[in-house]
Chain A
Amino acid sequence: DVKVTQSSRYLVKRTGEKVFLECVQDMDHENMFWYRQDPGLGLRLIYFSYDVKMKEKGDIPEGYSVSREKKERFSLILESASTNQTSMYLCAIGGQNYGYTFGSGTRLTVV
């Protein structure tokens, strides 16, 4: 079974903190994605990556950055957390040929 592991299930951070969300996969897959999910807004793509050291902006990249130093790990960085970044963050691997496998998600609260 494909495994996509997100390091934290719940996080509470203060406004202005730098926040790292980690995602690790065990499938040697090229494509990795970060989405956020909010009630009424659905899933929105933040950033994605095709390979090591490659990154592409999604639909809502503002306030975020990413890092992919190793193929199995894709990190989402909130440079200076704000309350409007309170959300469920979902990491996924896959692509248009076979869909995505999601991690279990990180529910981030910024206070």
Chain B
Amino acid sequence: QKEVEQNSGPLSVPEGAIASLNCTYSDRVSQSFFWYRQYSGKSPELIMSIYSNGDKEDGRFTAQLNKASQYVSLLIRDSQPSDSATYLCAVDSGYSTLTFGKGTMLLVSP
């Protein structure tokens, strides 16, 4: 069974700080990695994708991938209370399917 592990949190950060969310995965052949944001009672929303080692930046979000360590992270700069949500890491697991971690809850306090 392919596994994706995340710390469940909650991760609490003050407004304006950097939030760092981490994810490890078990399948060495995985090639595609995604971060989703899920507000309470809503469905997941794709915020970042990354396919090669290194960093990928999009606005206040930076995804980092290290395939040798089987590690993906998401940095949120200048965190806002509106960033408070559960963040799901997803990894491709063959046949166009994704395996999701259980998510990390992020709380940004004003």
Chain A residues proximal to chain B, CB less than 8 Å: 31, 33, 35, 40-43, 45, 48, 50, 56, 58-59, 90, 94-105
Contacts and interface: CB of A to CB of B under 8 A. Distances in A.
B80 to A, nearest CB: 23
Nearest to A50: B96
B42 interface: yes
A96 B96 contact: yes
Interface of B: 1, 31-32, 34, 36, 42-46, 49, 88, 90, 92, 95-103
A31 B96 contact: yes
Nearest to A59: B1
Contacts of B42: 104-105
Nearest to A4: B43
Given A45-B97, A100-B34, 12 more contacts: A41-B102, A42-B88, A42-B101, A58-B97, A96-B31, A96-B97, A98-B49, A102-B44, A102-B45, A103-B43, A104-B42, A105-B42
Contacts of A58: 97
A32 to B, nearest CB: 10
Contacts of B97: 33, 45, 48, 58, 96
B51 to A, nearest CB: 9
B102 A56 contact: no
A103 B42 CA distance: 9
B43 A90 contact: yes
A100 B98 contact: yes
B46 A101 contact: yes
Nearest to B2: A59
